[in-house]
Amino acid sequence: MIASVRRATALSFLLLGLAGSAWAADADSTAAPIGLKAGRGSIGGQLGGSLMVADGDYSQGAHPRFSFSGHFRYVISPGARWQFSPLYTWSAYANDVDMPFADPNFPADTKKDRVLTQMGGASMQYQRVWGGGRTRWHLGAGPALYRVWVQNRRKLLKDPDSKVLHNGLYGGASVELGYERFMKVLSNTSLEVTGAVHGAFAASDTKFPSGFNGNPVYAELRVGAHYYYDFDRKKPADAGARK
């Protein structure tokens, strides 16, 4: 699974390069909304739903749950920007799915209905932006750092063989595609719908030989808003004269 996630990440960066070549002319030749002027920053947030789609015990019997992502952006040009995103989501499980092993703390539990997998952390993305008028699309990808922890009855799950708790920090990657629409009156504010995929490289045969040994991957759909602003607000020319 880790190889497939790495291949997907490499493919995402390849798509970004191709997108940059294909859309650069469109992005540079189309008048950008005030919010997308080079050198500006933005802050925003989105709420949505997520589903654990891989790997192994992390996704087997998973139910969709809410997800959150904050966004801090820096506009390089009308066609490119950086994004830093703190994020969080979790997954619950169906009550008819077997536990991969007997929980040392609750050995009578045979199903995963009291199990929660949680993922929190932050991602850094380079994004290509294209579109026209008040409408923009973006495709972004980049590295991420995730904390992944698994609980049963709100207590950290322990591997019965290695005695290691399912709680750790792992590297990973994210990719997203978003649609952004700037408001007509408030030209610094946009509404956005985003689809994203996140994956953490958490597999370890040494730490987790009994179960929940894989690379958790979740897909999500979010909606939210962003506000763009100037980092350096210039003072009026006569401000010094009034002092």
- Going by C-alpha positions, the residue among 77, 178, 78, 81 that lies closest to residue 133 is 78
**Under CATH, which architecture does the 2-230 domain have?**
Beta Barrel (2.40)
Q: What is the mean pLDDT of residues 127-138?
A: 93
pTM of the model: 0.81
- Give the start-to-end residue ranges of the domains of the chain: 2-230
What pLDDT is attached to residue 37?
A: 85
pLDDT per residue as tens digits for the range 155-188: 999 999 999 999 999 999 999 999 999 998 888 9
What contacts 150, CB < 8 A, 6 or more positions away? 115, 116, 117, 118, 156, 157, 166, 167, 212
**Residue 10 Cα distances to 55, 58, 92, 143, 218, angstroms:** 19, 23, 30, 11, 18
Q: How much of the chain, in percent, has pLDDT values that exceed 90?
A: 75
pLDDT per residue as tens digits for the range 133-160: 899 999 999 999 999 999 999 999 999 9
Statement: residue 99 has pLDDT above 80: yes
- 17-21, 46-50, 121-125, range with the lowest pLDDT: 17-21
Q: Whole-angstrom distance between the N-terminal and C-terminal Cα of the chain?
A: 65
